[in-house]
Amino acid sequence: MKNFTCPLVRLIIIFLVSMALARCTVSPQTHELREPMNTDLEIFDKRFRALSFGDLSMDRFWIRAEEDADRAPVPLNNYSIADVVERARKGVVNIYAQTVVEREVRFGISPNDLLPIKIPLVSNLLEILPFQVPLSQEEEGVSLGSGFIINAEGYILTNAHVINNAVGIQAVLSDGEEQYPAQIIGIDRLTDLALIKIDAGKPLFPLALGNSDDLRTGELVLALGNPLGLKHTVTSGLISAKERVSPMSHGNVDFLQTDSAINPGSSGGPLLNLYGEVVGVNTAIIQKAQLIGFAIPIDTVKEVMPMLALGKTERGWFGAQAHPLSLSQANLLNLPIRGGMIVREVAPESPASKAGMKANDVIVSVNGTPIDSFVIFRRKLLGMPPGQTVAMEVFREGKIIAISGTLEKQKVEAVP
> How many secondary structure helices (H) and strands (E) does the chain include?
9, 22
CA atoms within 13 A of residue 14's CA, in its CB half-sphere: 6
Q: Which of 143, 188, 192, 240 is catalytic?
A: 192
Contact by Cβ (8 Å): 111, 124:
no
Integer-rounded Cα radius of gyration of the chain:
27
Contact by Cβ (8 Å): 316, 386:
yes
Look up 254 and say whether it is catalytic.
no
CA 76 to centroid of chain Cα atoms: 33
Look up 250 and say whether it is catalytic.
no
Q: Strand, coil or helix: what is 169? A: strand
Q: Which of 161, 246, 266, 365 is catalytic?
A: 161
User: Measured at the alpha carbon of residue 412, what is the angle toward residues 411 and 414, in degrees to the nearest 5?
Assistant: 60
Least Cα distance to 159 among 179, 187, 181 occurs for 187
Look up 192 and say whether it is catalytic.
yes
> 354-360, long-range: CB within 8 Å, 24+ apart, which pairs?
354/405, 355/392, 355/403, 355/404, 355/405, 356/403, 357/320, 357/392, 357/394, 357/403, 357/405, 358/396, 360/396
Q: Which of 146, 212, 267, 365 is catalytic?
A: 267
Q: Any idea which residues carry the catalytic annotation?
A: 161, 192, 267
